[in-house]
A and B are shown apart, each in its own frame.
Chain A
Amino acid sequence: MEILEKIKEIFRKYFDAQKRGDIKELVALYRELILSRNSLAVDQGYKDYLDMQIKKINRIPEPHWQKYLANKDAFATKFSPHLDSSSNSPHFLSKLPELKIEYPENVFDLVTKKYPEINEVRNKISIENSDKGAYFRYSDEADHYSIYIPQTNFNQKVSMLIHELAHVISWEKQHHRVESIYSAEFEAHQIEFALTKDISNEFSQAVFGEYLMGQVRSDFQIAIFTNTTLDPIVTYTENFAKYIGELKKENQTDFLFDKKITHDPLVDLSSAVSIVNLLT
């Protein structure tokens, strides 16, 4: 496909500009990337890249998408004022005192209390280290779950394990068949939020806080894919301010180095939509 060759070429130039730290060129190339990804989606019969992500990749039901659009701004004001965020380092769980629990045993205990079905698969779950975020894999052949958790601060590890175990519960309930990325994320967040409330309200609020960057990334890219004339730096800064707070000038171009934006556009979309719809 010609457009994929074009995207490859843009990335070659992009990586080169990243090495040189050439912000002006990065912004120009980022705009080209947005236009090319929109063309890729149009070639496949979608209005733009966002439309393709909603309908083909994440399969977000229209009423859920509309509910999210109607409520995301209210969500931003509902949660950010209650959270102690520092402008360019929006981490919340690491600011709380470390939970006094055994990891992972007590996390399993907590989950079992509310979702006893996890016990039926407990001996089929192993927990491994990850170097690229938290995720799980299920092997049909081995009938085994591998949960990958990065080496990060303790509270975050607990929160991530709860989220991945929520996926396991949902996966079992749906008989190892995922209806869509969106439905999987929606159900996992629903279970996760019910569990984190049981730890403490403070912990639960901090978990919401950890997901605010996903809201920023998603809302920013929704804007930029649907209106390609927008200035990316201004739009990113505005979205960061909406959910988290004022972004220092030196951090306003951080998104140009954020792989969740450059490499995996809209990767947080299902999660962002689920969270807004569950909490508003």
Chain B
Amino acid sequence: MINPDPPKDEVIYIDLQGRPHDTPQECIEANLGVEEAGGGQYQAGGNCGQDPSNIPDNKG
């Protein structure tokens, strides 16, 4: 069986749980999701390729 849905390009973003994402936004949201569910503070991190100035300072 060939992967029916391979990533569109070679760039892969890895979140704090070691999960791959196609875009930095998905990657950052995945990190946010964990922090929200865990009830902790937002942690910048993972290999999301994010611009530090774009990191939200609250969870909304």
Asked whether A1 lies within 8 Å of B17 as measured between CB atoms, the reply is: no
Residues of B within 8 A of A180 (CB): 37-39
A153 CB → nearest B CB, Å:
19
* Segment 24-46 of B: residues with Cβ below 8 Å from A: 34, 36-39, 45-46
Asked whether A4 lies within 8 Å of B34 as measured between CB atoms, the reply is: no
A167 CB → nearest B CB, Å:
12
Asked whether B6 lies within 8 Å of A11 as measured between CB atoms, the reply is: no
Cβ-closest chain B residue relative to A256: B1
Given contacts A7-B18, A178-B36, A180-B38, contact A12 B12 (CB under 8 A): yes
B13 CB → nearest A CB, Å:
8
In the complex, A179 has a CB within 8 A of chain B: yes
Residues of B within 8 A of A57 (CB): 17, 34, 37-38
* Segment 235-280 of A: residues with Cβ below 8 Å from B: 253-254, 257, 259, 263-265
Question: Chain B interface residue count: which class?
Answer: 20 to 34
Most chain A beta-carbon contacts within 10 A, residue among B5, B20, B36: B20
CA distance A4 to B46 in the complex (A): 7
Asked whether B12 lies within 8 Å of A19 as measured between CB atoms, the reply is: no
CA distance A8 to B49 in the complex (A): 12
The total of chain A residues at the interface (CB under 8 A) is 36
Query: Which among A18, A56, A265 is the interface contact of B3 at CB below 8 angstroms?
Result: A18
* Segment 2-17 of B: residues with Cβ below 8 Å from A: 2-7, 10, 12, 14, 17
User: Which residues from chain A sit less than 8 Å from chain B, CB to CB?
Assistant: 1, 3-5, 7-8, 11-12, 15, 18-19, 21, 33, 36-37, 40, 49, 52, 56-57, 59, 140-141, 177-181, 184, 253-254, 257, 259, 263-265
Q: Given A180-B39, A257-B3, list of 13 further CB < 8 A pairs?
A: A7-B14, A7-B20, A8-B14, A19-B6, A33-B18, A37-B18, A57-B17, A59-B38, A180-B37, A254-B1, A257-B4, A263-B19, A265-B19
User: What would 11 A/B residue contacts be, using CB atoms closer than 8 Å?
Assistant: A1-B45, A4-B14, A4-B47, A12-B10, A15-B3, A18-B3, A19-B2, A57-B37, A59-B38, A184-B37, A253-B1
